[in-house]
Amino acid sequence: MAEARNSFIKSKMNKDLDARLVPPGEYRDAQNVSVSKSEGADVGSLENILGNISLTDFGLSSTPNIDIIGFFMDPTRDQIFVFMTNYVDTSSDKLSNFAPAAASCHIGVYNINTLTSTLIVSGSFLNFSKTHPVLGVNTIDNNLFFSDNRNQPRKINITRALANTSYYTSEDQISLAKYYPFSPIELIRDEVTALSIGGTQSGTYVVQTNCQTTGGTGQGLTINVDTVSSSGPSAGNITAVSINNNGSGYSDGDVVQIVQRSGSGSGVQITLTVQTSSTMKDVVNEYLPDGSTANPYYNANWPGDKDYLKEKFVRFAYRFKFDDGEYSLISPFTQECFIPEQDGYFIGNDEEKTMQSTELNIMKNKVNNITLCIPVPDGSTNWGNVVDDLKLDSIDIIFKNATSTTLNLLETIPANTLTGNGSALLFYDYQSRKPFRTLPLRDLLRVSDQTPVRALSQEVIGNRLVFGNIVDKHTPPSEIDYDAKVGFKLTQVAPAASVEASNIRLEYQNHTLKQNRTYQIGVVLSDRYGRQSDVILSKVNSNIQDPELKGSTIFNPYKTGNNEGQTGGTANFSYYPGTATTSLYSSNNTWPGDQLKITFNETIDSIKNTSIGTPGLYSSTNPLGWFSYKFVVKQTETDYYNVFVPGVLNGYIDGESQDPLAASEDEPVVHFVLQADNLSKVPKDITLVGPNQNKFRSGRPSFSDDPSYYQFTDTNGNYFQADPYTEEGEALLKTRDRERDLDSGSQVKNASVELIPRVINRYGTVQYKRQYYPDQESDVVVAIGTGEDLGLWSPSSIFPFNRAPVLYNYQSNPFIARMNVYTAGSNISTYGQVGPSINAAEYEVSVSAVSTSGADYPDLGENVPIVFKGTTATDKQFKNKNIQVTFNASTGSVNKIVLTNTGGPWENLSSYPLTSTANIEAAGDGNCTFDVTVTRSVYGPAGGLDPRNTNPKQNPLSIFETKPLESKLDIYWETSSAGKISDLNANIIANDTTTPYGFRDASGTLGITWSLPESAALNTDLTEATGIYATDYAGNSLTGSNITMTLLSVTDALNNNVTSDFSLTAVGSLGAYKIRNLSYFYYASNSAAKDFYTFTIRVKAPSATFSTDGTFVTKDLTLGAAPGAGFTSPLFGLSNVVPTIVPLNLGPNSAWPGSSGCGNTLNVTGVSTAENLLVLSFDGRNGTNNSNTANLRTDLTYTLSGIDANALPYYDLVQTEGIAYLNINAGAESFGNQSAIVTVTDGGGLLALCEIVVSPSS
């Protein structure tokens, strides 16, 4: 036969054509060949390779049943990677069981060139199983990527693994999705705050600084020896020490010893006082805001920029960089690191400054030095271990300014600096330095990695790793049972067992929750590697009776004056002991601020179920379970302004009338001055005015334009004309001006700004300011104009209608806002200052008779200015007041003086009346002198001065808040509240002794007694006769008369509703209940699969606050043990009872020769001619209660045995409706007596038998 030869120069496989038609240069099949993947000229070429031969067993020949479940040939390295295991997951889904510690799981590599084999990764943490081959394997650069559709995708560094075969020892080190730093940076730390000298000293100590210490629970504390006794018995003893470096990790009461660099002293014991304190500090100012108390944190050599943080609201986070250049997700950020200057208090004339500038100048950050405390990652005991535990390369410290959309990198901490760090906190001292690099926007938006939970296939495309047939995320719980409320920030308390203390007041001392806002609080769960759930909201619990407890969404209204937890006078929110004129808060008991509080009614739970994607909770054998949580909040009402104004005028002013038109419920009108930045915060509404309008109220018409405007009627009905240049006439015209202004057809309206009052000046016996409680309403600014525009006063009018001292800086004719007040209701009379300023006054200037006449004066001098030559403090107050006089003289001597210009202003004199001596220097010899006296007549409502304020220009500060803008971003914002689910669950359990979680026997037995035999009569106690109690999480009984239980449902194992078959009955009055049956039961052929029951019981128990608010906790529970009860619940099923069988009826030819019944002999005659002759019938019963007549004989099976094989064909057992009939036929008599055993078997396989000796005769 001819031999065919071909050169496959095209290196092309062609399966499309029949083998006889394949063109030259192509081939159809190949064996032991390889196609080159090089990037050289031989790419795609075909070359022969060796066939399968045994190369190595990797030293695993003694490991039984080990198989290769995946391999990868890397021609670029001439290496073969293999994945091996002897473990088989036998769970139903082949995924749920984790490889046990004894399982053999390995990654090996074989070098084709050197013919060497190496196990580069070994350990049960690989969790390989023969049920899941490793199908996706690729290399990129020096990294091996692999996926088996059982574990998450993984990666190892080939070079490192070959160099150190113990390099990889945990899932954290090989996972493609890297460890997620779930804990935010902490801004509190335990610090050594004081040292106490003790012990028995001997030898000689010397003064020295920066002495090392030994002992205690921490490290790094260094101490200065400040003074040493120089004489007496204690010479050489240390008498004073101070802290040089606080170190970290010490506990209160620790005792340390000083390590001397010189000296011979010994025996001194230093006891430490350790306190938790904020790490946000002002280290720049030498003194506290009072100007005299030394700042304990002052550092004269501090190297930072003292002004960098003043105008910034900054937050901090961190991330990890791993050994192959990957970055973790960014940790949750801290809250804004901000404490206002002066800790937010007005000091000195701050109120006056705020009124003048309309800006709160103390709202600048006093913080300039922040110690960032980074918690050690989970699984590591200290930072010294983290480098190897996570294969860490470095840590990035990240900076975020609230006004910026970018993230900035402050510093990168190399991993080698962590070596030997035995602390569980890593401290980074931020000294107000500018960040050195901006991170790309993708880092800000990267909330999780695009790494699937599992992937069946994997391939490299364009140097990118692509997965196929993936499970992309976990299925989260649909809801979590928690409630939200708003309250004061938690007070630091000593923690109970397994409960973390709250230091929120220390960590964020000036932070609070904005009032009059709606918040929606959600929970986001994450696995250990950053795969996060959607936002999970709380259950809607209609059983909650506490009006403060809400679900996920809660509205935080403005305070109503109720001070949380206080009674009596202190119940007022801004209560301060003393009179109504005192400040809003006391100096030693201020309002701490509010916070959102979340109450968990049950632990966070998840059951691993791969069919629906629920991952369960994290454990060492479930590395992808839910691991951490964080709270997120949606709040869309964002930007707003605080409007600082110099007091509020209640109603109107009529010159200096002490009885002007005040605001009323019918006309709730107030006015206040707008200046500086307030003009932009409270703008005019251009949609309410014409395009060319620049005056927002028509002025009073002139007499020639409208004479009728000036006509009035007296009490006798006579018309008269008002003269605007008289006080009486101007008063009448002012009233008409206001009436015209209030007419709906002509009323000025050029604004529509909603303002919410927060602090308002009030009028009583004195003027003062108080916090204002606006409920949820706002007031509306309806008009903005000058005092003349709004008809309040006119600078060109006569006195006193050209004055408005109640309004700040009225002399400059400022803009005034007119506001309709809706929040005050019937209290409108105390909203602001009524009428003129409480310090408003008329100032009268008078001259005395001539004291010294002088010489050379003309006979008449008109409107001559005078001067004050005196140098006393009083004289200086009269200088430059522009007073003018007219004088008469005779023979050159002044004999009469008349005041023609009173000058001014006179509001700021030190006292009244005040007198100074004046000279007329503009004529004569300049020696004419006389006295000028200024007196003050008060127009204020009380007829006297405000005792707190003798400066008539100073108005009380009032504060409004603008309506917030509604953000278009309907998103949740990350908070700094985050942690491990296991810790949260432990805290829930440790704190909760009132919430029902399960059940136990009321008798005290640690368990639940259950008995439901099929023989049970109606109303049998299936649980203990004393009943069962509900229990807390730990299995402790919940007892009391207020505890009730209701049976909601009972289902069998096939999900059939069988609730009507059972009852739940109270036992006594302390909350015990027992379960009884309302129906009969029998054990059927399907009972083993069907008759196990799930009881759902609603338990209503008093809450932890029941004694004060009467609220209950209602839980719908499945009958069983609480999770922490320490016992396993029984199966609540039907138990089988052995059936019975007895002889029933004799056949016509049958008779008992002796005793009757089972075990006896029965004679049967006439057998030789018999055909299916009845010997005996049998009555079997299946174990159910005898009263259950409908099912007594259900599911019974009879069998016949014991008869000789030769005689058996002549006997027959027939079953009809549960009764068995034993028949005999002719021929049986030939085989003599036979022992007939009739066996009855019930549906559950239990049996009973009846043996009869049949004696047949012909």
949 located within any domain: no
588 located within any domain: yes
Residue 1067 is predicted with a pLDDT of 96
Burial class (CB in 10 A: 0-12, 13-18, 19+), 267: middle
Query: What single string gives the DSSP state of each residue in 665-684?
Result: SSS-EEEEEE-TTHHHHS--
Residue 653 is predicted with a pLDDT of 80
488 located within any domain: yes
Residue 1163 forms beta bridges with which residues?
1151, 1255
- Do 1232 and 1222 form a contact (C-beta atoms < 8 A)? no
**Percent of the chain having pLDDT more than 70?**
88
Residue 501 is predicted with a pLDDT of 57
Q: Do both 902 and 928 map to the same domain?
A: yes
Higher pLDDT, 829 or 255: 255
Residue 575 is predicted with a pLDDT of 42
Q: How far is CA 914 from CA 394, 843, 866, 875, 935, in A?
A: 76, 11, 17, 9, 7
Residue 390 is predicted with a pLDDT of 97
| In the predicted structure, residue 765 carries a pLDDT above the cut 80 | no
Higher pLDDT, 549 or 320: 320
Q: pLDDT grade, residue 44 (50/70/90)?
A: low
Q: Do both 505 and 592 map to the same domain?
A: yes
CB burial of 39-71 (b: ≥16 within 10 Å; e: otherwise) equals eeeeeeebeeeeeeeeeeebebeeeeebeebbe
pLDDT digits (tens, 9 = 90+) for 1087-1115: 999 999 999 999 999 987 788 768 788 88
Residue 1197 is predicted with a pLDDT of 95
| In the predicted structure, residue 1179 carries a pLDDT above the cut 80 | yes
Instruction: Please tell me the total count of domains within the chain.
Output: 9
List the CATH number of the domain containing 1186: 2.60.40.60
Q: Do both 15 and 80 map to the same domain?
A: no
The conformation of residue 726, written as its DSSP 8-state character, comes to: S
- The two tokens of residue 1228 are 């049986």
pLDDT digits (tens, 9 = 90+) for 1143-1154: 999 999 999 999
| In the predicted structure, residue 584 carries a pLDDT above the cut 50 | no
Mean pLDDT in residue range 939-950: 41
Residue 577 is predicted with a pLDDT of 39
Q: Which residues contact 1052 (CB under 8 A, 6 or more apart)?
A: 1058, 1090, 1091, 1092, 1093, 1094
Please state whether beta strands 833-834 and 649-650 pair in parallel, antiparallel, or not at all (unpaired): parallel
1132 located within any domain: no
Please state whether beta strands 12-13 and 26-27 pair in parallel, antiparallel, or not at all (unpaired): parallel
Q: Taking the model in full, what pTM does it have?
A: 0.74
Q: pLDDT grade, residue 53 (50/70/90)?
A: confident
| In the predicted structure, residue 662 carries a pLDDT above the cut 90 | no
Q: pLDDT grade, residue 683 (50/70/90)?
A: confident
Q: Do both 507 and 634 map to the same domain?
A: yes
Mean pLDDT in residue range 1174-1179: 96
Task: Specify the range with the lowest mean pLDDT, choosing from 187-196, 220-229, 325-334, 481-490.
Answer: 481-490
Q: pLDDT grade, residue 42 (50/70/90)?
A: low
**Percent of the chain having pLDDT more than 90?**
59
Residue 287 is predicted with a pLDDT of 93
Q: CB 708: neighbour CB atoms within 10 A?
A: 8
Q: Do both 732 and 818 map to the same domain?
A: yes
Q: pLDDT grade, residue 493 (50/70/90)?
A: low
Mean pLDDT in residue range 543-570: 64
829 located within any domain: yes
| In the predicted structure, residue 43 carries a pLDDT above the cut 80 | no
Mean pLDDT in residue range 1083-1089: 95
Higher pLDDT, 767 or 1102: 1102
Q: pLDDT grade, residue 122 (50/70/90)?
A: very high
Residue 9 is predicted with a pLDDT of 65
* Amino acid identity, position 887: F
Residue 1176 is predicted with a pLDDT of 96
Signed CA dihedral, 98, 101, 102, 106: sign only: positive
Report the alpha-carbon distance of residue 1179 to residue 1142 in Å, rounded: 5
Selection from 381-390, 584-593, 656-665, 788-797 with the highest mean pLDDT: 381-390
| In the predicted structure, residue 262 carries a pLDDT above the cut 90 | no
Q: Do both 761 and 798 map to the same domain?
A: yes
Mean pLDDT in residue range 1008-1035: 95
pLDDT digits (tens, 9 = 90+) for 328-376: 999 999 999 999 999 888 888 888 888 888 889 899 999 999 999 999 9
Q: Do both 661 and 759 map to the same domain?
A: yes
1197 located within any domain: yes
End-of-domain residue from the set 230, 248, 277: 277
User: Which domain covers residue 138, as residue numbers?
Assistant: 67-174
Report the alpha-carbon distance of residue 589 to residue 576 in Å, rounded: 9
Selection from 722-731, 834-843, 1233-1242 with the highest mean pLDDT: 1233-1242
Please state whether beta strands 437-438 and 642-645 pair in parallel, antiparallel, or not at all (unpaired): unpaired
| In the predicted structure, residue 1238 carries a pLDDT above the cut 90 | yes
Residue 692 is predicted with a pLDDT of 46
587 located within any domain: yes
Q: How far is CA 54 from CA 57, 58, 115, 163, 814, in A?
A: 8, 11, 12, 25, 99
Q: Do both 707 and 816 map to the same domain?
A: yes
Q: Do both 182 and 195 map to the same domain?
A: no
Residue 743 is predicted with a pLDDT of 46
464 located within any domain: no
Q: Do both 403 and 495 map to the same domain?
A: no
Query: What single string gives the DSSP state of each residue in 530-559?
Result: --BPPPBPBP--TT---TT-BSSEEEEPPP
Higher pLDDT, 42 or 1229: 1229
Query: What single string gives the DSSP state of each residue in 782-795?
Result: EEEEETTTTTS--T
Q: Do both 662 and 736 map to the same domain?
A: yes
Report the alpha-carbon distance of residue 427 to residue 421 in Å, rounded: 11
- Do 314 and 400 form a contact (C-beta atoms < 8 A)? yes
pLDDT digits (tens, 9 = 90+) for 796-808: 776 666 777 778 8
| In the predicted structure, residue 582 carries a pLDDT above the cut 70 | no
736 φ, ψ (degrees, to nearest 5):
-65, -40
Mean pLDDT in residue range 275-285: 93
Mean pLDDT in residue range 784-813: 78
pLDDT digits (tens, 9 = 90+) for 1045-1063: 999 999 999 999 999 999 9
**The tokens 């906190």 sit on which residue?**
425
Q: Do both 229 and 325 map to the same domain?
A: no
Q: Mean pLDDT in the chain? A: 87
- Do 667 and 819 form a contact (C-beta atoms < 8 A)? no
List the CATH number of the domain containing 1078: 2.60.40
